[in-house]
Amino acid sequence: RVRLVESGGGSVQAGGYLTLSCAAAGLTYPTECIGWFRQSPGQEREGVAAIFTKRDTTYYADSVKGRFTIFQDKAKEMVYLQMASLKSEDTSMYYCAADSYRGGCMYEDYDPSTYDPSYTGQGTQVTVSS
């Protein structure tokens, strides 16, 4: 059974930084993609970043470009989301998501309405205070 486990969330002041980690258990690594999306209560899910683990190519939402960096450690089978220059609007629950097929991944011009990754974690809370 695939299980994604996030860690690294917390509270930080605006302008600060956090690094989220995602460990995938039971997932054949490298898989097609692993990414992060965020969602707050009553809000729609927002894709944040993704990495195609075999090709090491990345995707970023416009709202985080230049501030967030997604990278992997293939030896440890871990994916990280390094977040810098955090803003209050980055406050949300962050979820790690993975899929073995491109249809469940985020990439340039993907359709958010059809984004439905096969595997998601339980989430880790990020709170940015201004």
* Residues 93-121: tens digit of each pLDDT: 999 999 999 889 999 999 998 899 999 99
- 80 vs 71: CA distance, rounded Å: 5
- 65 vs 93: CA distance, rounded Å: 19
Q: Give yes or no for a contact between 12 and 127, defined as CB atoms under 8 angstroms apart.
A: yes
Instruction: Look up tokens 């089978």; give the residue.
Output: 77
- 72 vs 52: CA distance, rounded Å: 10
* Residues 16-75: tens digit of each pLDDT: 999 999 998 888 888 899 999 999 999 999 999 999 999 999 999 999 999 999 999 988
